[in-house]
């Protein structure tokens, strides 16, 4: 071996070792390794930061922003609000949630899809009286499986498409992964829903669900003049309220509060619903029924004023400006352009409009204000901010615009009319222009450690390939499988890649394994496409540990899992993935 090959293998061994150790964050490890490679002359200085402008890096960042826009527009509420049915059997619930998760993951980042659906799953488990751990791991696996079906579903597919373009002159298209990835996803989902969840250890202790510990607010929402609810009875809202986990406490009409639910009351324009709910549930209920905030006139002013709205939670200390006064008497609306949306108070029933209720020390307020004004309003009130919970206001009036723009971009990219990164970039710009996403919030949704990891590992992978290192690895695997048929060589490649992905970041695994697959195909004199597809599936199929994929890590705490719980369902699933993938690859991507 040459000095360059020895040095690069040593760097990769050190990087993978540090990844496994977990003492330092993976992006710092990867960036330091890149700097060492540049200093040693293994990576040309001019190409040191080429990975940060690489199409794969850009697509991953843009997909995360677009995913946030789809969530903020309320597009996903169209699906998730029909899923909360605690009477459904566990297997049926997992099958339905898993199917939705897989479809969403195919068209948005699978981490974002899980983050969106996890609260829905936890909410359903709470209502059904079962441990969320019985369904969270299947949900995580479903999002991973769904991401295999399209180019943008998971970072390894994006990376492999880019490597194919560099090596063979043409990338994989949007749905080139669908024949193999789609079949694997369908079979995997069937296994998870019918058999897999039964293999999860059942524990009945608290699952660390932070959602269940959030305070409920007494809040008010108003029926607008053009609402479809006008003429219906209040009791007809029970189903939507139950799905959103909202309690309807009463009705305010003509400044008079009616308790006892007044279920038979016929709803009129301007009626105010008195609710008890968490902030996220309140926003879901408002979005579902197209309700207004309690102060409709102020809502219109707020919405037209700037780049969107934000929800802020504050606690009232003694001596605060608002202590002993109401939001209306203080002039919160006209002085600070803010609305008191909800009030959490233990032990006493409210008898007036929230904005007319005298605030007491110890109350928790839910404030609606223009974006970036939350800290100023909090300081003016003399209140203390609660820990940031990432509360957001859904722009439900832009739902179909957000869906249409994203669908148009996917179709244009799939048809080859426009380059995928450009299409996604145009969607991001459009979301900003129509105020689905505020300008100040765009970069908050980019997972920068992943961007740094990609930007650092791509030049290292290119250097390993240029030095002949991938050829050495490929020759080693071919020597190991000498005399075996090509399908068995493919199987060995999948097993090795899958094993690496279970303990390392799947992005890093794809960067290293894809060039090896191309070299193996070249040495065997066969098409490289089946080998790239094998790497794509195997790099994403990380089901044995909570560290192999971020989605598995996300459900570790809320599901109450232990490190050794994942392999019980993950091992048979990985065997099934290999058994389904190899014949599917040979059919759709013949050697």
Per-residue pLDDT for the chain (591 aa), expressed as one digit of tens each? 889 989 998 998 898 788 777 788 878 988 999 999 999 999 999 999 988 988 778 877 887 788 778 777 877 666 666 666 667 888 898 999 999 999 988 887 777 777 667 767 876 787 777 888 899 899 999 999 999 999 888 888 988 998 898 888 888 888 899 999 999 999 999 999 999 999 988 765 433 343 334 456 778 888 888 888 999 988 888 888 877 778 887 788 877 766 555 667 888 888 888 888 877 778 778 888 888 876 555 555 555 444 567 778 888 887 788 988 988 888 888 888 888 888 887 655 565 678 888 888 878 888 888 777 788 888 899 887 765 555 566 666 788 888 899 889 878 877 778 887 898 899 999 999 988 888 877 888 787 887 888 788 888 888 887 888 877 877 888 788 877 888 898 999 999 899 888 866 678 788 888 988 998 888 888 899 999 999 999 999 989 877 677 788 767 767 878 777 888 999 999 999 999 999 999 999 988
Q: Tell me how many helices (H) and strands (E) the chain has.
A: 24, 9
Q: Name which of 185, 114, 95 is nearest 149 in CA terms.
A: 185
In sequence order, what are the beta bridge partners of 315? 364, 384
Give the other-Cβ count within 10 Å of 571's Cβ.
Answer: 14
What pLDDT was estimated at residue 12?
A: 85
Q: 123 with 155: CB under 8 angstroms? A: no
What pLDDT was estimated at residue 369?
A: 82
Q: Return the domain boundaries, the chain.
A: 3-206+447-588, 215-293, 294-388
Looking at 339-419, list the stretches that DSSP marks H as alpha helix, in order from N- to C-terminal side: 374-381, 399-414
Q: 241 with 304: CB under 8 angstroms? A: no
Dist CA 297 CA 292 (whole Å): 10
Which stretch of DSSP H or E encloses residue 342? strand 339-344
Residue 116 makes CB contacts below 8 A (sequence gap 6+) with 71, 76, 80, 104
Place of tokens 């293994």: 42
Give the other-Cβ count within 10 Å of 1's Cβ.
Answer: 12
pTM, two decimals, is 0.64
Backbone angles phi, psi at 314, to 5 degrees: -135, 155
Burial 501-527 (b: 16+ CB within 10 A, else e): bbebbbbbbbbbbbbbbbbbbeebebe
Dist CA 363 CA 314 (whole Å): 8
Counting Cβ atoms within 10 Å, is residue 145 exposed (0-12), middle (13-18) or buried (19+)? buried
Dist CA 438 CA 440 (whole Å): 5
Output DSSP code: residue 557: T
What is each CA distance from 238 to 139, 220, 234, 284, 285, in whole angstroms? 27, 16, 8, 14, 11
Q: Name which of 353, 358, 356 is nearest 274 in CA terms.
A: 353
What pLDDT was estimated at residue 531?
A: 94
Tokens of 167: 């090596």
Dist CA 145 CA 235 (whole Å): 40
The C-alpha torsion from 16 through 17 and 22 to 23, rounded to 10°, is -130
Q: Note the CATH architecture for domain 215-293.
A: 2-Layer Sandwich (3.30)
The C-alpha torsion from 432 through 435 and 441 to 443, rounded to 10°, is -20
What pLDDT was estimated at residue 343?
A: 85
Most distant CA atoms of the chain, gap in Å: 86
Q: 480 with 495: CB under 8 angstroms? A: no
Counting Cβ atoms within 10 Å, is residue 322 exposed (0-12), middle (13-18) or buried (19+)? buried
Q: 363 with 344: CB under 8 angstroms? A: yes
What pLDDT was estimated at residue 210?
A: 39
Same CATH fold assignment for domains 215-293 and 294-388: yes
Q: 569 with 197: CB under 8 angstroms? A: yes
Q: How big is the CA angle at 329 (ends 328 and 335), to the nearest 5 degrees? A: 70
For residue 125, the Cα-to-chain-centroid distance in whole angstroms is 20
What pLDDT was estimated at residue 537?
A: 95
Place of tokens 């599936």: 537
Dist CA 137 CA 105 (whole Å): 15
Q: Name which of 289, 297, 255, 290 is nearest 272 in CA terms.
A: 255
Domain range 294-388, CATH class: alpha beta
Burial 269-294 (b: 16+ CB within 10 A, else e): ebbbbbbbbbbbbbbbbbbbbebbbb
In sequence order, what are the beta bridge partners of 430? none
């Amino acid at each position: 071996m040459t000095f360059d090959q020895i040095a690069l293998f040593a760097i990769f061994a050190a990087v993978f070792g540090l990844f496994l150790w977990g003492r330092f964050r993976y992006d710092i490890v990867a960036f330091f390794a890149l700097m060492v490679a540049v200093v040693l002359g293994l990576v040309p200085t001019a190409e040191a930061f080429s990975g940060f402008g690489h199409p794969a890096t850009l697509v991953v960042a843009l997909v995360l922003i677009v995913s946030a826009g789809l969530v903020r527009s309320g597009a996903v509420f169209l699906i998730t609000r029909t899923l909360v049915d605690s009477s459904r059997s566990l297997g049926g619930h997992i099958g339905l949630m898993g199917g939705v998760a897989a479809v969403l993951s195919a068209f948005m980042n699978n981490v974002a899809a899980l983050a969106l659906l996890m609260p829905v799953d936890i909410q359903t488990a709470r209502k059904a009286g079962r441990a969320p751990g019985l369904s969270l791991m299947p949900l995580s696996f479903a999002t991973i499986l769904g991401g295999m079906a399209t180019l943008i579903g998971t970072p390894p597919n994006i990376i492999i498409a880019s490597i194919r373009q560099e090596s063979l002159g043409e990338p994989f298209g949007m749905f080139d992964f669908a024949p193999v990835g789609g079949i694997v996803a369908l079979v995997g989902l069937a296994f998870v829903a019918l058999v897999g969840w039964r293999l999860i250890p059942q524990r009945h202790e608290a699952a660390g669900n932070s959602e269940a510990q959030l305070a409920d607010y007494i809040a008010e929402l108003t029926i607008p003049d053009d609402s479809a609810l006008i003429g219906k009875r209040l009791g007809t809202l029970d189903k939507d309220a139950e799905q959103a986990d909202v309690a309807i406490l009463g009705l305010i009409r003509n400044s008079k509060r009616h308790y006892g639910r007044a279920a038979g009351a016929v709803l009129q324009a301007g009626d105010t619903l008195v609710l008890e709910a968490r902030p996220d549930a309140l926003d879901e209920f408002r979005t579902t029924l197209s309700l207004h905030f309690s102060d409709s006139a102020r809502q219109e002013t707020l919405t037209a004023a700037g780049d969107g709205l934000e929800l802020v939670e504050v606690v009232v200390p003694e001596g605060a400006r608002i202590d002993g006064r109401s939001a209306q008497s203080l002039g919160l609306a006209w002085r600070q352009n803010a609305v008191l949306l909800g009030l959490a108070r233990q032990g006493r029933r409210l008898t007036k409009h929230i904005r007319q209720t005298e605030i007491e020390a110890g109350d928790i307020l839910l404030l609606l204000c223009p974006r970036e004004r939350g800290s100023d309003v909090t300081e003016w009130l003399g209140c203390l901010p609660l820990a940031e919970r990432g509360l957001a206001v859904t722009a439900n009036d832009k739902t179909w615009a957000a869906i249409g723009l994203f669908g148009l971009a996917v179709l244009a990219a799939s048809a080859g009319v426009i380059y995928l990164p450009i299409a996604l970039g145009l969607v991001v710009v459009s979301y900003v222009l129509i105020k689905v996403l505020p300008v100040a919030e765009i970069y908050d949704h980019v997972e920068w450690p992943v961007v740094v990891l990609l930007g650092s590992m791509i030049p290292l992978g290119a250097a390993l390939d240029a030095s002949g290192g991938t050829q050495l690895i490929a020759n080693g695997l071919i020597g190991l499988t000498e005399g075996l048929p090509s399908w068995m060589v493919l199987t060995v490649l999948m097993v090795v890649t899958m094993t690496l992905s279970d303990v390392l970041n799947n992005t890093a695994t794809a960067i290293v394994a894809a060039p090896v697959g191309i070299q193996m195909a070249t040495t065997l004199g066969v098409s490289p496409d089946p080998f790239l597809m094998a790497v794509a599936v195997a790099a994403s199929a990380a089901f044995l540990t909570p560290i192999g994929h971020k989605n598995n890590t996300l459900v570790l705490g809320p599901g109450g899992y232990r490190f050794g719980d994942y392999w019980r369902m993950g091992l048979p699933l990985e065997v099934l993935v290999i058994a389904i993938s190899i014949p599917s690859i040979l059919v759709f991507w013949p050697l």
